[in-house]
Structure 1
Amino acid sequence: MLSGLIAFAIASLLVSMIPGPTTVVILRQSVRAGRSAGVATVLGNETGWLVWCLTAAFGLSALLLASEIAFDIMRIVGAIVLVWFGAKMLWQARRKAQGDPPEDLAASSPGRPSLWSCYRSGLLTNLANPKAGVFALSFLPQFVPEGAPALPMLLLLAVASALIDLAWYLGIVRLVGAAERFFKRPVVRRYLEYMSGTLLIGLAVRLALTSKP
């Protein structure tokens, strides 16, 4: 059982390290509004991942595998959410290109996102991806030891996976905070907005074109 849990921890960490919409949103919020905003975004993302893991544990994610209509609905809604976030980032970059306010004014700007909005963006980015639910359903059961009670073990793995994911993304937020002076440069922030928005829209198109696994 111990070797199985170690394998699960390593696999979960490797999965967390794969770049995707979550990484883009966490990086962007960390650079835009600081470490607290990055942490709030991470917590929102982990809430979403935990929801997918728990639905997988209770078998609800099986609906996405069994029903092409359900998967397509989630896929299109998810793509729309990602396009919305990407478009907002491109709009922010365009506004910055027209003239950046001084940093002290920018820090107190009413346009600065609240912690709740950062949490919500992390949550929605994760929940908008039906492939996360399908992945959780296929990933978690592989590590349930033979003879162990399935539901309690799946719930334990779900929480452990979320904690591993949390540790990885908090590390990213910390690294961004360590390089705060570099990321505070207006040119760097503007190009990060352009890059983040473009990547999210590209990922949205990819999601929209994805067929049911």
Structure 2
Amino acid sequence: MVVALISFTLTAIVLVLLPGPDTLVVVRSLVRGGRAAGTRTAAGVLCGLMVWVVAAALGLSALLQASRIGYDLLKIVGAGYLIWIGVQSLRALRRTSAEESAGYRTASPLDRLGNFGAGLLTDILNPKIGVLFVSFLPGFVPDGSPIVWTTLGFGAIYVLLTALYCAGLVAASGAIENWLRAPAIRRRLDALTGVVLVGFGVRLATES
């Protein structure tokens, strides 16, 4: 069990550090709403991950993987959601420099959804996370160990590592908060996150 735990933790660290939609959604909230907004979005991301961990432990993710129609449907919805988030970031570029300097913000549908909801849906609507967990977590369960409880334990470690990663993003944003408030920097970050999120959505929709 110790060897399996170490092997899983090291592999999970690599997966958590790979930038994906979760990271971009948290960064977007940090840029647009500061550390409080980023923290709420990260909490939503973590709750979404916990839902998939429980689903993997109970075998529900395996059902999703086996059902091509269900997987494709959730994939299309999730891809549309990521593209929508990206478009909202790109639309923010139309704000004028004067509006940015004055702290004026136009509430987008994503903003009204709430930071927590944005983070939660980013994970819940991504079936690739469920498939990852159902194929990744059980592979580290040693022979003779209870599959459900061991899978839940490994999943909890993955969620904890993600929480530490998100906490690092929030802490780093605090150190460069004044820099992030510069209108030109915010526009560039909105453009970057928007384009990349749209790219993630298109890739999710087109991948088999």
Shorter-chain TM-score tier:
over 0.9
- AA aligned to 2:114 is S
Task: Point out where structure 1 has 5 or more consecutive residues left out of the alignment.
Answer: none
Structure 2 length as normaliser, TM-score? 0.93
Matches within 5 A, 1:48-87: 48-87=48-87
- AA aligned to 1:199 is V
- AA aligned to 1:159 is A
Separation in structure 1 between the aligned mates of residue 100 and residue 15 of structure 2, nearest angstrom: 39
Cross-structure match for 1:164: 161
Separation in structure 1 between the aligned mates of residue 192 and residue 23 of structure 2, nearest angstrom: 12
The answer as to whether partners of 1:12 and 1:165 remain within 8 angstroms in 2 is: no
Structure 1 length as normaliser, TM-score? 0.90
Separation in structure 1 between the aligned mates of residue 15 and residue 186 of structure 2, nearest angstrom: 28
Runs of 4+ in 1 over 4 A off after TM superposition: 112-116
Cross-structure match for 1:21: 21
Measured on the aligned residues, the alpha-carbon RMSD in Å equals: 1.9
Cross-structure match for 1:135: 132
Task: Point out where structure 2 has 5 or more consecutive residues left out of the alignment.
Answer: none
Q: CA deviation at 1:7?
A: 1.6
> In the alignment, which of 193, 198, 202 is matched to residue 196 of structure 1?
193
User: What is the total number of aligned residue pairs between the two structures?
Assistant: 207
- AA aligned to 1:100 is E
Q: CA deviation at 1:111?
A: 3.7
- AA aligned to 2:83 is V
> In the alignment, which of 173, 176, 201 is matched to residue 173 of structure 2?
176
Q: Does 1:150 align with 2:120?
A: no
Q: Structure 1 pair 114/79, CA: closer, same or farther in 2 (3 Å)? A: closer
Q: CA deviation at 1:147?
A: 0.8
- Give identity over the alignment, percent: 39
Q: CA deviation at 1:116?
A: 7.4
